[in-house]
Chain A
Amino acid sequence: MSTISHVIGTGISSAVQVAVVAVGGPVLVGVMRKVRCRLEGRVGPPVLQPLVDIRKLFRKQRFRPDQATWIFTLAPVMLVATVVVAAAITPLVTTHPALRASSDLFVLVYLLLVGSTLLALAGLDAGTAFGGMGSSRAVTIGALAEPALLVTILALSTTAHSSNLPAIVSAILAHPESVATPQRLFALGALLIVIVAESGRLPVDNPATHLELTMVHEAMILEYAGPDLALVTVGEAMRLTLLLGIFVNLVAPWGVATSTSVSGVVVGLASVVAKVAVVGVFLAVFEVFIAKVRLFRVPELLAGAFVLALLGVVSGLVAK
């Protein structure tokens, strides 16, 4: 009986996580836009504008370039599907999500890679210059971000002796004194840089412009319109939210439910929303004060992240 209620509990909490990421993602983007606009002295669109845009896009007609294949159609679906699965298995609200066994940092990285790889292929599918340019740049940045990302995972995993996310989060909750070790601080710094790069935010990519010479992500998805564009937009917003959600629960996991009780899930939900909102606002403020770096300066940024992550691993060894 208890196993059945546990299964139902994990299922419901995973559904809650997917729902909060799906709805919260576009709202987070709206909040970040609003903060930026206000700091730049503009009024800015309403916070819920991204949701309204997505609803509008879903109702429009679908388009397909004449050279495109089924990959063009599949890529947005795959992008959203991988983020949905990732959101379902990550400990955002509770440390007991569904498929807890696969809730591994390594699995999450590669799961998200499926979506971005297919999107890169879709960029080449229409046979235009812009799509290829975006794909080429996006996969290059992705490849360069990978070492920093995996070494960060290595640094974060050594305390829990596992790359399983619920295990890592539980280990921090059980040993609060380990929360601010140099090892973790370096690794989390590296992780934040990688998240910014992977979700195409400033200073790596500017999601607000369509300038030919500097576009990365926007060039790749230029051929999308209507419901497909809506899926890409939702997918990207969900991805940013999910990555920030993982980040905040690795920085300060307090509030996350250690069971699947209703009160625990409600508290967990409120805390993760609050924490992600704080980090999102922080990122938006940060973005006001910096400019996009040149494409060929991005490797230096990512190399910096890699060095930070390696410092994390090394300082963990020194401390031992």
Chain B
Amino acid sequence: MTAGVLVVAGALLGLGGAIAGALLPKGWRVRAATALIWAACGCEAAAAIHVLAIDRPIVLRSTELLPFTGVTLVLNSLGAFFVLLVVMVAVPATLYGIGYASHGLDTRTAACVFPLFVTTLLLVPTAGSVATFMALWELMALTSLLLVLVDHSASEASRSAGTWYAVLTHVGAATILVAFLILAAHSGGQTFAAIAVHARHLASGVRALVFMLALVGFGSKAGAVPFHVWLPKAHPEAPSPVSALMSGAMVALGVYGIVLVGDDLLGGGPVWWWLVVLVLGGASALFGSLHAASSTDLKRLLAYSTTDNIGLVLLAVGAAGLYDATRHPLLAALSLVSALVLLFNHAAFKGALFLSAGSVQVATGSRDLDRLGGLLRRMPQTGALFLVAAAAISALPPLNGFIGEWLLFQSLLHGAVIGSTAADIAIPLAVAALALTAGLTVVAFVKAVGIGFLGRPRSESADEATEVPRTMRLAVGLLVAVCVVLGVAPTLIFPAVERAVKTALPGLGTRILAHGVDLQVVGLRGMLAPAALAGSLAGAVVGIMVLRRALSRQPTPRVVEAWGCGRQLQTARMQYTATSFAEPVQRVFDDVLRPVQDLDVTHVAESRYVIESVTFANTVDDAIERSLYTPVIRAVRRWGQVARRLQPGSVHRYLAYGLGALVILLVAVAVMG
């Protein structure tokens, strides 16, 4: 019962944060709201840890709060894991928000909505009934939408981003609602517990319909292809702490929804469901990483990279369902473990990357990589933290991204020999998708670090950049510390992950992973000693540095000008740009990316052999947006124009409509009655 009090107290403290943000004067509101949000995070984290420790859900019911349905909160181990994930991002993001406040987060609206957004993120995984879930889910969508619009509510890009996000998130919410309504109608109750009992006995067609609707709805929140189009628009426009929370935590809740419906409520399904998930995952991973590799806007790059990481998570979720459907419970559990570990890791490094991108924007006023450069010298701490987070997302050992991909690879590797035809075809292709994604992620982040932070500054504002306030660096540092610790000692989170996985896939008695310093997959041959690996790597680095110093006669380097092919003058414009860096990838994959290149040569009037000026433009649009959404939008607009003729403003016409409708109704009643 005490744990239940913690959940309620967390919710109330979060609401208190929103009220404090709305009522207090400007100098106080952000700090007060942040303090209350931290208290809320503390309460929810304590409740989540309690649930994971005793492995029994907390159940709270109140019939007074929502009319007709009441509120049901159930915090089980799966939800508790996601609560911890949200807390892990929310605390640094709000800490960062203190220093970032003057960039749009200290208005009354923002200071009120931001705590509300964090509170809904914390509460969505605790929802235990359809009504509670949908209420919190909608509140999360609306608060995040307001926060996307809060920064530059006057700018055209921001308004367009808001529209895209609003439409996609509400189409998603509608399909989720339909899925839940079908389930509830067949279950005689709207709590998840009642649904879980009845959903297993539904007709297979209904179950498939529910799963596909949920997949579309939650997939659009998770940013999976082809519903990802809002991510590269909304993330660049949102304030950075909001981007970090949306990309790290909110997107993860989309995956939570898929696991909740697919595994928890429906109790798994036939092989073809999970093949659909695998295809979605593979397509998201490849499409996202390709666009990340060719983006030149730092936050757009990070947004596409979110689609790519969610794709990898969906590969793991799909593989888990596939193994479950072919009765390989241990492999299914291992895949789901890798999915949750990938999500947790993604939240840590993507949070850090979005926050550092925000620091760059604060310091230089730009997100365009082609206007940055030389920032590692000017912002040494932010630069170093960004570098480590970029290494983590590129899955370089000994950081946490590597552990997640290793687990995913192990689950796919052992799945290649289970002897099911579907798995035989899907698994090698999934491995190939994982591999190409990993390679393209390296391209994207070598570009982000190398063009954005190294070399000569490409603009005056980048040249004059200075380090951001200490709280902002500390916030990024906290998330980067998570990346390092979970890379060296990943077994720290495994007890929690394992409890969460056993909630989603019940009936698995044994342990999945051994809980030592080393990683070992129980019952399969897969081993990794991350701490020893990290230690020996560090030892080798130190040893070689000592050796270089000992062998060299003059160990201090002489600083010289870089070689400029004999030219005296080196300018920033002679460097590679983000566009030119991505050109080989863009050229190899031009069938997928379909870049639009425009070369315009102006000749001098007297002679066409003398060129006056050359302009070259290279843009990479989203091909899915262009070929899938643009026709739909055009059709809707055309129908809208047609429908406008019905409403010419004439009162007589409207009265005629009313009369006509009444006549039709009466005729219908007469015929049917």
Q: Which residues of A contact B (CB under 8 A)?
A: 58-69, 71, 73, 77-78, 80-82, 84-85, 88, 98-99, 101-102, 104, 106-107, 110-111, 113-114, 117, 120-121, 123-133, 135-137, 139-140, 142-151, 154, 157-158, 160-164, 167, 222-223, 226-228, 231, 295-296, 299, 306, 310, 313-314, 317, 320
Distance in Å: Cβ of B184 to nearest Cβ of chain A: 43
Contact of B548 among A61, A136, A151, A231 (CB under 8 A): A231
* A107-B406 contact given A84-B544, A154-B428, CB 8 Å threshold: yes
Task: Decide if B527 is an interface residue (CB 8 Å cutoff).
Answer: yes
Distance in Å: Cβ of A28 to nearest Cβ of chain B: 20
**CB atoms of B575 and A127 under 8 A apart:** yes
Distance in Å: Cβ of B567 to nearest Cβ of chain A: 10
**CB atoms of B450 and A125 under 8 A apart:** yes
CB within 8 Å of A: which B546-579 residues: 548, 551-564, 570, 572, 574-576
Besides A65-B559, A67-B562, A158-B413, 7 more A-B contacts (Cβ < 8 Å) are A62-B555, A64-B558, A71-B454, A121-B449, A127-B562, A146-B436, A151-B428
**CB atoms of B394 and A127 under 8 A apart:** no
Give CA–CA (A196, B526) in the complex, Å: 28
Task: Decide if B236 is an interface residue (CB 8 Å cutoff).
Answer: no
**CB atoms of B451 and A102 under 8 A apart:** no
- CB closest chain-A residue, reference B414: A161
Closest 4 CB pairs of A and B: A132-B576, A143-B439, A124-B450, A127-B455
* A101-B529 contact given A128-B564, A129-B575, CB 8 Å threshold: yes
* A64-B436 contact given A59-B553, A99-B536, CB 8 Å threshold: no
Distance in Å: Cβ of A42 to nearest Cβ of chain B: 29
- CB closest chain-B residue, reference A84: B540
Which residues of chain B have C-beta atoms less than 8 A from A149's C-beta? Answer: 435
Which residues of chain A have C-beta atoms less than 8 A from B518's C-beta? Answer: 101
Which residues of chain B have C-beta atoms less than 8 A from A310's C-beta? Answer: 428, 432
Which residues of chain A have C-beta atoms less than 8 A from B557's C-beta? Answer: 61-64, 73
Which residues of chain A have C-beta atoms less than 8 A from B449's C-beta? Answer: 121
**CB atoms of A227 and B529 under 8 A apart:** no
Give CA–CA (A73, B574) in the complex, Å: 23
**CB atoms of A145 and B541 under 8 A apart:** no
Most buried by A among B374, B446, B530, B553: B446
* A126-B432 contact given A64-B557, A121-B454, A161-B525, CB 8 Å threshold: no
Type the 1/0 row for B358-394, where 1 means its CB is closer than 8 Å to any CB of A: 0000000000000001101100000000010001001
CB within 8 Å of A: which B179-224 residues: none
* A66-B560 contact given A125-B455, A143-B436, CB 8 Å threshold: yes
Distance in Å: Cβ of A80 to nearest Cβ of chain B: 5
**CB atoms of A64 and B526 under 8 A apart:** no
**CB atoms of A158 and B556 under 8 A apart:** no
**CB atoms of A124 and B455 under 8 A apart:** yes
Which residues of chain A have C-beta atoms less than 8 A from B435's C-beta? Answer: 146-151
Give CA–CA (A65, B562) in the complex, Å: 5
Distance in Å: Cβ of B541 to nearest Cβ of chain A: 4
**CB atoms of B560 and A64 under 8 A apart:** yes
Give CA–CA (A135, B555) in the complex, Å: 27
Give CA–CA (A125, B541) in the complex, Å: 20
**CB atoms of B413 and A163 under 8 A apart:** yes
Contact of A85 among B443, B540, B588 (CB under 8 A): B540
Contact of B409 among A61, A158, A163, A223 (CB under 8 A): A163
CB within 8 Å of A: which B140-186 residues: none
Contact of A62 among B529, B544, B552, B570 (CB under 8 A): B552
Task: Decide if B509 is an interface residue (CB 8 Å cutoff).
Answer: no
**CB atoms of A150 and B409 under 8 A apart:** yes
A interface secondary structure, majority: helix
Give CA–CA (A137, B588) in the complex, Å: 12
* A143-B544 contact given A104-B527, A121-B454, CB 8 Å threshold: no
Which residues of chain B have C-beta atoms less than 8 A from A69's C-beta? Answer: 376-377, 454
- CB closest chain-A residue, reference B458: A127
Q: Which residues of B contact A (CB under 8 A)?
A: 293, 373-374, 376-377, 387, 391, 394-397, 402, 405-406, 409-410, 412-414, 416-417, 419, 424, 427-428, 431-432, 434-436, 438-440, 442-443, 446, 449-451, 454-456, 518, 520, 524-530, 532-533, 536-537, 540-541, 543-545, 548, 551-564, 570, 572, 574-576, 580-585, 587-588
**CB atoms of B562 and A113 under 8 A apart:** no
- CB closest chain-A residue, reference B575: A127
Can you list 13 A-B contacts with CB-CB less than 8 angstroms, sorted by A residue number? Answer: A58-B548, A64-B557, A67-B456, A101-B529, A114-B397, A136-B581, A139-B443, A143-B443, A154-B427, A158-B417, A162-B525, A228-B548, A231-B544
Which residues of chain B have C-beta atoms less than 8 A from A158's C-beta? Answer: 413, 416-417
Which residues of chain A have C-beta atoms less than 8 A from B434's C-beta? Answer: 150
Contact of A129 among B450, B532, B576 (CB under 8 A): B576
**CB atoms of A121 and B551 under 8 A apart:** no
**CB atoms of A81 and B537 under 8 A apart:** yes
**CB atoms of A110 and B563 under 8 A apart:** no
**CB atoms of A67 and B526 under 8 A apart:** no
**CB atoms of B533 and A126 under 8 A apart:** no
Distance in Å: Cβ of B596 to nearest Cβ of chain A: 20
Distance in Å: Cβ of B290 to nearest Cβ of chain A: 10
**CB atoms of A104 and B541 under 8 A apart:** no
* A146-B439 contact given A81-B544, A158-B416, CB 8 Å threshold: yes
Give CA–CA (A227, B547) in the complex, Å: 10
Which residues of chain B have C-beta atoms less than 8 A from A64's C-beta? Answer: 557-560
Contact of B558 among A61, A133, A142 (CB under 8 A): A61
Which residues of chain A have C-beta atoms less than 8 A from B439's C-beta? Answer: 142-147
Distance in Å: Cβ of B294 to nearest Cβ of chain A: 11
Contact of A222 among B456, B524, B563 (CB under 8 A): B563
Contact of A59 among B409, B552, B585, B588 (CB under 8 A): B552
Contact of B446 among A107, A139, A154, A164 (CB under 8 A): A139
Give CA–CA (A144, B528) in the complex, Å: 26
Which residues of chain B have C-beta atoms less than 8 A from A98's C-beta? Answer: 536
Which residues of chain B have C-beta atoms less than 8 A from A222's C-beta? Answer: 563
Which residues of chain A have C-beta atoms less than 8 A from B431's C-beta? Answer: 150-151, 154
Give CA–CA (A223, B561) in the complex, Å: 10
* A128-B528 contact given A62-B554, A107-B397, CB 8 Å threshold: no
Distance in Å: Cβ of A100 to nearest Cβ of chain B: 8
Give CA–CA (A102, B431) in the complex, Å: 20
Distance in Å: Cβ of B650 to nearest Cβ of chain A: 63
Which residues of chain A have C-beta atoms less than 8 A from B556's C-beta? Answer: 62
- CB closest chain-B residue, reference A161: B525
* A66-B450 contact given A58-B551, A313-B416, CB 8 Å threshold: no
Which residues of chain A have C-beta atoms less than 8 A from B373's C-beta? Answer: 127
Give CA–CA (A196, B587) in the complex, Å: 23
* A137-B527 contact given A111-B397, A158-B416, CB 8 Å threshold: no
**CB atoms of B554 and A61 under 8 A apart:** yes
Distance in Å: Cβ of A96 to nearest Cβ of chain B: 14
Which residues of chain A have C-beta atoms less than 8 A from B580's C-beta? Answer: 132, 136
**CB atoms of B527 and A142 under 8 A apart:** no
* A102-B374 contact given A65-B562, A140-B443, CB 8 Å threshold: no
**CB atoms of B442 and A58 under 8 A apart:** no
Contact of A296 among B412, B561, B588 (CB under 8 A): B588
- CB closest chain-A residue, reference B518: A101
Which residues of chain B have C-beta atoms less than 8 A from A67's C-beta? Answer: 374, 377, 455-456, 562
Which residues of chain A have C-beta atoms less than 8 A from B587's C-beta? Answer: 296
**CB atoms of B446 and A101 under 8 A apart:** no
Which residues of chain B have C-beta atoms less than 8 A from A142's C-beta? Answer: 439, 442
Distance in Å: Cβ of B539 to nearest Cβ of chain A: 9
